[in-house]
Amino acid sequence: MTGQSRLAVLGAGHVGPVIARLAIKAGYPVAIATSGDPEDIALITELVIPGAQPRWASDAVADADIVVLAIPLHRFGDIDPALLGGKVVVDAMNYWPASDGVLKAFEQDGSSEIVARRLAGSTVVKALNHIGYHELEDRARPAGAPDRRAAGVAGDDPAAAATIAQMVDRIGYDPVRLGSLRAGRVLQPGGPVFGAVLALPEFERAVRQDARSLA
Ligand SMILES: NC(=O)c1ccc[n+]([C@@H]2O[C@H](COP(=O)([O-])OP(=O)(O)OC[C@H]3O[C@@H](n4cnc5c(N)ncnc54)[C@H](OP(=O)(O)O)[C@@H]3O)[C@@H](O)[C@H]2O)c1
């Protein structure tokens, strides 16, 4: 996959538009969708995500190479796994009981492992979940910038993880490849880098021990 991979961002709340803007800036064609009619987000998309195409989720996904799940985890069950079949899916979601409520299925294991089990026909990579949306946009820097920060990429499929690492790099972060989706538990709430925006050496130091024990 090249830099021209097409993105579908599902979710137009807090983090979805930020991911969409960063991706557009990096040169990716981007469609954005909610669970509803794209007409409802047409004006706001034009104003706050210029260049993004508001579409029905099914249409956005059908034309995409990479689908970013930027929806609350408690809404994940609404997504038809067949819709995402064959796609590289970036799981940017977190299990956050304060807003998701208690989801029994997500009380154990890494949330992305559970997402991946349900999306068995897709290739799931965990990324872009651990930095708050404001910071995700404000701290993005081009490669080589002295104050560039790092962001984790965790997946079981090396080719898909490489594709998403490239995307993370292009949108403004030093990608840190973790060995597996399971190792990506370090990126979720309660993990050592959740909510932290660290430079590469600090990030690697913070995740090294946990990631090794989870790989
Ligand atoms: N907020 C952050 O700083 C941040 C940062 C990184 C990761 N995350 C994670 O990203 C996820 C989303 O967070 P958020 O704060 O952006 O949530 P949010 O502001 O509540 O926005 C959620 C968006 O998802 C859409 N949506 C819900 N169900 C959908 C479906 N089935 N198909 C397509 N779109 C759907 C909603 O639109 P409709 O209801 O109209 O469909 C809404 O646009 C969460 O899991 C969160 O933990 C958040």
So what's the pLDDT on residue 214?
Answer: 67
Per-residue pLDDT for 212 more than 70?
Answer: no
> In this model, does residue 4 exceed pLDDT 90?
no
Pocket of ligand 1 contains residue 31 by CB under 6 Å:
no
Q: What is the pTM of this model?
A: 0.97
Count CA atoms within 13 Å of residue 131 on its CB side.
25
CA 167–ligand 1 middle distance (angstroms): 20
pLDDT in tens, 162-191: 999 999 999 999 999 999 999 999 999 999
Mutational pocket test of ligand 1: of 15, 89, 133, the residue with most ligand atoms within 8 Å of the beta carbon: 15
Integer Cα distance of 143 and 172 in angstroms: 7
Res. 215: pLDDT tops 80: no
Residue 127 beta carbon below 6 angstroms from any ligand 1 atom: no
Task: Select the more confidently predicted residue: 212 or 179.
Answer: 179
Find the angle CA(51)-CA(52)-CA(54) to the nearest 5 degrees. Answer: 135
Please report the pLDDT score of residue 60 as a whole number. 98
User: What confidence tier does 26 reach under pLDDT thresholds 50, 70, 90?
Assistant: very high
